[in-house]
């Protein structure tokens, strides 16, 4: 019996900034952002979206009523928690109308939370093959205005339905992981902005990739040529280039792994970092944009969460309607409104308000699920299709 990803869906907020505009506003050479970082655009998350509403919007693109009845677990990977106690998955369950007879909880380890959810989910399905598991990776990446990390911000959500009918990606259970207590990137409780030792974080990422990839090759007696594509956690596209170079030297640009990598970074270069969702947006980007990667292809996935945890694992690409996936993601990305840098800065600052009662203006946000505000410290979400508050 095989288990893995049966469906995958994506959501990002309805605004973006162009990296040339940002470079000009920050007195930087645009090529630093476009080539040096590899970023073209960046999604901007308004106050009317948080990880719960983004996750609900992503999940709604894939789930049927039948799926909702069969989901036994909702595992929410995020490092942008909405409460110090209550898991984002509780709100998600009610927004989506998933059965109450489900386990619902949140997983945190920086950008690794979604991968932890997938590994937990497939173990459950191995024992319960007639059930389904919903895994979410949703985050908002914030470093602060006029910081070196600003060009690597972004946000969004990826929703994955796991089952024993893995039409997107069958997971073969092969995996290698490595963790160590280090300070490359962290988010203190008193602020929404990340603290980061940027160049050190790049070095640790590559080190963890090399350790887990080599451990995987040794453990399963494999070599790099056994893979048809390698996809990476992409905090920004150049990071994947730095990692891939260490196993397939840059000179070999016609190598299929480089060709497929270029497909896998397309969407990320338009959305930016979405932390837990970034690896899975890259997987979507590969399968939606590559015309050369066939069903049956062997895919290697590198997951990295600062702090730090790395995992390299593998799966086999299934057969499903890739055109439909591409249409849905292209629609998400193309519908976004371009903001000026001044508009972005205003939106960014308004996302910092922390008061017990808060009314959020969502009139420009046509996403199905939005955050309306807070009343006596309780978050209120709105389903704009049914008109219901949750």
Nearest-10 Cα torsion for 60, 322, 241, 210? 80
Catalytic (active site) residue 79: yes
Q: Is 29 in the site for ligand HMG (CB under 6 A)?
A: yes
Q: Looking at 233, 260, 263, 311, which residue is catalytic?
A: 233
Residue nearest to ligand HMG (CB): 36
Residues 6+ apart with CB under 8 A from 203: none
Look up 233 and say whether it is catalytic.
Answer: yes
- Choose which of 24, 35, 350, 361 interacts with ligand HMG (CB under 6 A): 35
Rounded Cα distance between 273 and 188, Å, is 19
Give whichever of 89 and 109 is closer to ligand HMG, judged by the CB atom.
Answer: 109
Q: Please report, for residues 129, 219, 328, the alpha-carbon distance to residue 265 in angstroms, rounded to integers and kept in the order given.
A: 33, 28, 17
Query: Which residue, chain included where needed, has tokens 């996935």?
Result: 301
Cβ–Cβ < 8 Å for 199, 44:
no
68 labelled binding-site residue: no
CB closer to ligand HMG out of 104 and 110: 110
Least Cα distance to 136 among 118, 154, 119 occurs for 118
Q: Up-side HSE of residue 48: CA atoms within 13 Å toward CB?
A: 20
Q: Which of 13, 59, 111, 301 binds ligand HMG (CB under 6 A)?
A: 111
The helix-helix angle for 278-289 and 322-334 (nearest 10°) equals 120
Site string for ligand HMG, 261-300 (x = CB under 6 A): ------------x-x-------------------------
Contact with ligand HMG (CB under 6 A) among 209, 213, 227, 236: 236
Report strand pairing: 71-77 vs 132-141.
parallel
Annotated binding-site residue? 29 = yes
6, 60, 106, 111: the active-site residue: 111
CA 12 to chain CA mean position, Å: 10
Would you list which residues are annotated within the binding site?
A: 29, 143, 242, 273
Would you list which residues are annotated within the binding site for (3S)-3-hydroxy-3-methylglutaryl-CoA?
A: 29, 143, 242, 273
Residues lying near ligand HMG in the complex (CB under 6 A) are found at 29, 31-32, 35-37, 79, 110-111, 148-149, 151-152, 184-185, 196, 198-199, 201-202, 205, 233, 235-236, 238-239, 273, 275, 304-306
């Amino acid at each position: 019996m095989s288990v893995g990803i049966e469906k995958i869906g994506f959501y990002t907020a309805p605004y973006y900034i162009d990296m040339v505009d940002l470079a000009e506003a920050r007195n930087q050479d645009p090529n630093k952002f476009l080539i040096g970082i590899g970023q073209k655009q960046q999604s901007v998350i308004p106050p009317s979206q948080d990880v719960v509403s983004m996750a609900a919007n992503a999940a709604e693109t894939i789930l049927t009523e039948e799926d909702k009845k069969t989901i036994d677990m909702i595992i929410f990977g995020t490092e942008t928690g909405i409460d110090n106690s209550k898991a984002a998955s509780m709100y998600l369950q009610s927004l989506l109308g998933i059965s109450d007879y489900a386990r619902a909880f949140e997983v945190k380890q920086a950008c690794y939370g979604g991968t932890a959810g997938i590994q937990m989910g497939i173990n459950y399905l191995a024992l319960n093959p007639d059930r389904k598991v919903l895994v979410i990776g949703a985050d908002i990446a914030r470093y602060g205005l006029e910081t070196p990390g600003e060009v690597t911000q972004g946000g969004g959500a990826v929703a994955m339905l796991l089952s024993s009918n893995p039409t997107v990606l069958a997971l073969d259970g092969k995996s290698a992981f490595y963790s160590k207590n280090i300070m490359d990137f962290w988010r203190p409780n008193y602020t929404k902005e990340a603290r980061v030792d940027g160049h050190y974080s790049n070095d640790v990422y590559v080190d963890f990739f090399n350790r887990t990839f080599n451990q995987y090759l040794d453990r399963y007696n494999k070599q790099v040529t056994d893979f048809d594509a390698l996809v990476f956690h992409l905090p920004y596209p150049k990071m994947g280039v730095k990692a891939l170079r260490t196993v397939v030297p840059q000179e070999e640009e016609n190598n299929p792994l480089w060709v497929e990598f270029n497909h896998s970074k397309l969407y990320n270069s338009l959305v930016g970092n979405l932390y837990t969702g970034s690896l899975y947006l890259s997987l979507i980007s590969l399968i939606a944009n590559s015309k050369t990667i066939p069903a049956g292809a062997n895919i290697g996935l590198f997951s990295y969460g600062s702090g730090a945890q790395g995992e390299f694992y593998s799966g086999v690409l299934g057969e499903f309607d890739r055109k439909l996936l591409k249409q849905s993601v292209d629609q998400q990305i193309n519908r976004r409104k371009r903001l000026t840098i001044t508009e972005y800065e205003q939106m960014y600052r308004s996302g910092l308000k922390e008061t017990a009662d808060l009314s959020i203006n969502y009139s420009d946000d046509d996403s199905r699920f939005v955050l309306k505000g807070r009343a006596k410290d309780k978050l209120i979400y709105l389903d704009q299709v049914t008109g219901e508050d949750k």
